[in-house]
Amino acid sequence: MKRALLLAAATTLGLAAPAAAQNVAITNAKLVIGDGGQPLDGGTVVIRDGRVVAAGAGVAVPAGIPVIDAGGKWVSPGIFAGFTRMGIVEVDAVSTTNDASAGSSPFHAALDVAPAVNPRSTPIAINRAEGVTRAVVAPENSSGSIFAGQGAVIDLASDANAVSRPRAFQFMEYGEDGGRAAGGSRPAAIAMFRNALFEVAAYQRAPASFLDRGKDSLLTRADAEALVPVLRGTMPLLVHVERASDILVVLGLKREFPALKLVLVGAAEGWMVAREIAAAGVPVMANALSDLPSSFEKLAATQSNIGRMQAAGVLVGIGTLGQDEARQARWVKQYAGNLVALGRIPGASGLDWGAAFAAISSRPAEVMGMGADYGSLRVGRRGDVVIWDGDPLEIGTNAVSVIIDGVEQPLSSRQSRLRDRYWKPGEGALPKAYER
């Protein structure tokens, strides 16, 4: 459905339309399902109409479906990047190309990143070529509000519409950043949060009279409207929080607003309160390798954070908040591999290989409440599949084929073009500008 629309759009815009094959079977694979298990030899995955219809060893290929023989190579779900700003920033330092935040806007929670997502921004092609197929895209808050706005989930396909799920969540800041944005302290952030949700409740009761409430409401009508699904619990609220005591405060918000569907982002000191997080049933999108006390809210940061939280029963995916997240989602593979390496350090808590791969595929999708659609090769998921020339978590492994929604994708980028032009740096018979 979406695909049909996209192809029409692609034709209009004169894009190189990708082959529209949404049916494909990959056989003879070292198959990674992405659900935490180990790879299976001799696996097959079958995609029909853009979704997985079968995956495993001993799966038969239905007649009439194009077949790719993986020749024993690794085949996995595409990488689901848990927290990024891809597609909304071309060059961070060029403000006209950076739609992550809006410091001069009167709106906050109402800001919706979806219209800003540009499928042709260079990081999309660069990350696609390295096996990243979906990404959570979050807005960034600015001073004046703890609410950053509504984020999206995107695909990294080479077509005209990247947004898979617009308005997929609301993002807010707590802790040091939230306190400063709210006026100077953590209590100010909590006051702003409670006031906002009370106002949202008032808006819900009587939308037509909301404008009569005057400036004292401290919330625009558009912001109130955007927060209604948060208060109802139909839209996840992602909260950036790092310090152990701050995490407990955020978990405590559910006592006052029981419907909240919380997700913690960052959570550098999550391991210190892992049992409480697990008991609250709140999932976490954590940075994998933060190990420095880079601020006073991350004093206890350690690379063992994710391993310890997972061992305590917390659902954790890997995100990349503050880690060049507009362009380097591809690094999550390296991060996950490093968590495997931790398992060999006495006293450290890492992840086994299957759990590490899941932390960049099914787990972040599940953290977002989208595990039924994305992040693994279980039946019913979108057909996002990558064929690799080796272990996908190992450095130097290349994605040899990337399939999104069952459609094989181009793997070239601006960077690969520059490389080709300058592989031999000297100029030839004509200037470099003529070499392409």
Partner 1 sequence: MIRTTLLLGAAVALSACAANGGKAQTAASDPAPSGPGKGKGYDHDPYPSTYRAYPGAPTLVTHVTIFDGEGGRIDNGSVLFRDGKIVALGKDLAAEPGVTVIDGTGKYLTPGVIDVHSHLGDYPSPGVQAHSDGNEATSPVTSEVWAEHSVWPQDPGFGRALANGGVTTLQVLPGSANLFGGRSVTLKNVYARTMQAMKFPQAPYGLKMACGENPKRVYGGKGRAPSTRMGNIAVDRQTWARAQEYKRRWDKYEEKGGEPPSRDMAMDTLRGVLDGEILVHNHCYRADEMAIVMDMAKEFGYKVTAFHHAIEAYKIADLLKANGACAAVWADWYGFKMEAYDAVSENLAILDKEGACAMIHSDDENGIQRLNQEVAKARAAGLKGGFAISEEAAWKWLAINPAKALGIDDRTGSLKPGKMADVVLWNGNPYSVYTRPQMVWVDGALLYDANDPRKRPVSDFELGQPGEGDVK
Which residues form the interface with partner 1 (CB under 8 A)?
A: 90-94, 122-123, 126, 244, 269, 272, 289-296, 298-304, 324, 326-328, 334, 337-338, 340-342, 344-348, 393-396, 398, 415, 418-419, 422-423, 425-426
Separation of alpha carbons 270 and 243, rounded Å: 8
Separation of alpha carbons 225 and 215, rounded Å: 16
Cβ at position 37, least distance to partner 1 in Å: 19
Q: Which is nearer to partner 1, 214 or 425 (CB)?
A: 425
Q: Which is nearer to partner 1, 232 or 419 (CB)?
A: 419
The H or E element that residue 227 is part of is helix 221-232
CA 24 to chain CA mean position, Å: 25
Q: Which is nearer to partner 1, 58 or 346 (CB)?
A: 346
Q: Which is nearer to partner 1, 18 or 123 (CB)?
A: 123
Cβ at position 123, least distance to partner 1 in Å: 7
Number of CB atoms found within 10 A of residue 103's CB: 10
Cβ at position 244, least distance to partner 1 in Å: 7
Q: Which is nearer to partner 1, 110 or 399 (CB)?
A: 399
Q: Which is nearer to partner 1, 49 or 92 (CB)?
A: 92
Cβ at position 368, least distance to partner 1 in Å: 25
Torsions phi, psi of 231, nearest 5? -65, -35
The H or E element that residue 132 is part of is strand 132-137
Cβ at position 66, least distance to partner 1 in Å: 27
Q: Which two tokens stand for residue 297?
A: 């809210």
Cβ at position 328, least distance to partner 1 in Å: 8
Separation of alpha carbons 377 and 394, rounded Å: 21
Torsions phi, psi of 207, nearest 5? -55, -35
Separation of alpha carbons 139 and 115, rounded Å: 12
Separation of alpha carbons 277 and 261, rounded Å: 13
